[in-house]
Amino acid sequence: MPDGAKFTPANLRVIIVAIAGFIGEFAGSCHPHAQVELQMRVGIQVERYIYGLLLSWLADNEELEDHQAATIATGISWLIFGTAFQSVTMRTKRSPDQLADTIIAFLEPSLSDYLAE
pLDDT in tens, 80-115: 998 888 887 777 778 899 999 999 999 989 888 877
pLDDT in tens, 14-36: 999 999 998 887 766 555 555 66
Confidence at residue 17, expressed as pLDDT on a 0 to 100 scale? 95
Domain boundaries, the chain: 13-111
Dihedral (Cα; 33, 34, 40, 46), 10-degree rounding: -130
Q: With the C-alpha atoms ordered 69, 74, 75, 80, is the resulting torsion angle positive or negative?
A: positive
How much is the pTM? 0.84
DSSP 94: -
DSSP 59: T
Q: What angle do CA 6, 56, 18 make, to 5 degrees?
A: 65
pLDDT above 60: residue 62: yes
For 74, counting Cβ atoms within 10 Å of its Cβ (0-12 exposed, 13-18 middle, 19+ buried), the class is: middle
> What's the mean pLDDT in 48-65?
91
